[in-house]
Structure 1
Amino acid sequence: MERLSLNQMTTKHWSLAEAVDGCVRAGLGSIGLWREPVAETGLAAAAKLVADAGLRVSSLCRGGFLTAEEPGARAEALADNRRAIDEAAALGAPCLVMVVGGLPAGSKDLPGARARVLDALGELAPYAGERGVRLALEPLHPMYCADRAVLSTLRQALDWAERFPAGQVGVVVDTFHLWWDPEAIGQIARAGDRIASYQVCDFLTPLPADVLLGRGMMGEGHVDFRPFTEAVLAAGYTGDIEVELFNAEVWATPGDEVLATMKQRYLELVV
């Protein structure tokens, strides 16, 4: 249970203070933070709140969105990612989760978008490494390729990450995004110490109209979690295991009930 982490998005309507208190009541060891509620609380205040509660920060979400073609938009994206890296360092987060971005409006140039992500990583990776933060590339399910992430498989994420030192760039293993991939388990073994974050939730069908909200509590969908956990641990991952849900029904449920279910399903299905 010490490794179980609540990603803030799972209890979206809780403030940071409420989420921290909920984690303490539930006996969790860590919390995954999002930049927006951290900003609402204030960076220094948020860092103190988590530290005073005795919690670790398992990750900070999110950086990325690096596919802009226009020079001004690219410069602003790089500046925002540097701010995110600084925030992660101030919070003591070991990694900044990177959702790399989809195609720019009106573009069909997928290779070009991917090349711009790699160029941006070349600028950001050393900056992150100097601050003790690892950029964690998150491959998203291919249905998000156009609008959220031109990075779709763990193999692709590792091909990109391996261009940089392991302390600067790693990968996220997220069961929602990777459960379908026949190469996923083998690529987890390949990843080794590149695994910067392990996130779990289920894949629901039918997907809702807003496919972003198709993440379910473990046991409600199609994912077989234990092979993923066994592979991640065998690869040498020693970090926290985050539960990250985007789900309107979960968000409408009292937070303490969500955490109780989360703990039960984690013990029954994940570890």
Structure 2
Amino acid sequence: MHVEGLSINLATIREQCGFARAVDICLTHGITAIAPWRDQIAAIGLKEAERIVKANGLKLTGLCRGGFFPAADAAGRQQAIDDNKRAVDEAATLGADCLVLVVGGLPGASRDIDTARQMVADGIAATLPHARAAGVPLAIEPLHPMYAGDRSCVNTLGQALDICEQLGDGVGVAIDVYHVWWDPDLANQVARAGRMNRILAHHICDWLVPTRDMLTDRGMMGDGVIDLKGIRRMIESAGFLGAQEVEIFSAENWWKRPPEEVIATCVERYQSCCQA
């Protein structure tokens, strides 16, 4: 059995298992596309991770993550750029489709979000020549506004696309439904992304009502209020036909369940809730 069009972001079972076991579970359920995190790769070693990827013919729909460009001083900003270049090299070694960028929030005690956003654009610009040379597209992932202070000062798809227009080839967007579903301009911006040919990834989960934790209470597809099929139709109409990548942070639910159960549920919900 092969499940076409589904990728598993390995954060979905990060608390239960490491990279090698996560890959085995995905393969058992017919999934050959994954998106690992850098700490998961570091734990097993880049060479061993590369071996596992190649031996199993895995497709990496992305590597998570780069970003966090704003810093209180020039040395901090350069340190972030250097780390992003290392992340590019890791993505290239693993053959990832893109390096996902969670761009960072306000540095230190700053209240100047405009300057933080400029630091993001400058940091991506400084990383971009290295990424182009390595053949690794950079995927800006706009995050929900509740993360503007600490995780991402780029909060709408429109803002992310503005940076793409400013910087040119080699940078696009990762569209995560958890972060953009609320945006009244979403349809227009997805269509714009399609015209620009900048959609690099599509992440899925669901928004629970109520949400008990800002970071670690994402829902399994079908358990919340996001119009997953509608957003997928937008994305496909914009020309992106790549995999839907399940990315769930769930400290009190899915991270406590057997990983085999989690992945089996991802397959079932993808087939019942996410197909446009």
- Given the two structures, how large is their TM-score scaled by the length of structure 2? 0.95
Of residues 111, 114, 127, the one that matches 2:114 is: 111
Of residues 74, 77, 82, the one that matches 1:79 is: 82
> What do you get for the CA RMSD once the two structures are aligned?
1.0
Q: Separation in 2 of the partners of 1:123 and 1:240?
A: 29
Partner in structure 1 of residue 258 of structure 2: 254
User: Which structure 2 segments of 5+ residues have no match?
Assistant: none
Residues 156-175 of structure 1 correspond to what in structure 2 (within 5 A)? Answer: 156-166=159-169, 168-175=170-177
Q: Secondary structure at the match of 2:215?
A: helix
Partner in structure 1 of residue 20 of structure 2: 17
Conservation of the 8 A alpha-carbon contact between 2:175 and 2:199: yes
CA apart distance, 1:105: 1.8
CA apart distance, 1:144: 0.4
Q: Secondary structure at the match of 1:211?
A: coil
CA apart distance, 1:206: 1.8
Q: Separation in 2 of the partners of 1:105 and 1:203?
A: 30
Partner in structure 1 of residue 243 of structure 2: 240
- Given the two structures, how large is their TM-score scaled by the length of structure 1? 0.97
Q: Secondary structure at the match of 1:149?
A: coil
Q: Separation in 2 of the partners of 1:41 and 1:104?
A: 31
Conservation of the 8 A alpha-carbon contact between 2:10 and 2:247: yes
Q: Separation in 2 of the partners of 1:238 and 1:170?
A: 15
Q: Give deviations 1:181-228, integer Å, cap 9, x for gaps.
A: 1111221111012001100000112222x3101211001111010111
- The size of the alignment, in residue pairs, is 269
Q: Secondary structure at the match of 2:192?
A: helix
User: Which structure 1 segments of 5+ residues have no match?
Assistant: none
CA apart distance, 1:23: 1.0
Q: Secondary structure at the match of 1:230?
A: helix
Q: Give deviations 1:227-271, integer Å, cap 9, x for gaps.
A: 111111111113221000000110111111111111111111111
Partner in structure 2 of residue 216 of structure 1: 219
Conservation of the 8 A alpha-carbon contact between 2:71 and 2:108: no
Conservation of the 8 A alpha-carbon contact between 1:84 and 1:96: yes
Q: Secondary structure at the match of 1:157?
A: helix
- Aligned-pair identity (%): 46
Partner in structure 2 of residue 7 of structure 1: 9
Q: Separation in 2 of the partners of 1:253 and 1:234?
A: 36
Q: Separation in 2 of the partners of 1:54 and 1:3?
A: 15
CA apart distance, 1:104: 1.0
Conservation of the 8 A alpha-carbon contact between 1:3 and 1:29: no
Q: Separation in 2 of the partners of 1:88 and 1:26?
A: 25
Partner in structure 1 of residue 200 of structure 2: 196
Partner in structure 2 of residue 263 of structure 1: 267
Q: Secondary structure at the match of 2:201?
A: strand
Structure 1 residue runs of 4 or more that deviate by more than 4 Å after TM superposition: none
Q: Separation in 2 of the partners of 1:126 and 1:10?
A: 32
Of residues 56, 62, 66, the one that matches 2:65 is: 62
Q: Separation in 2 of the partners of 1:29 and 1:72?
A: 40
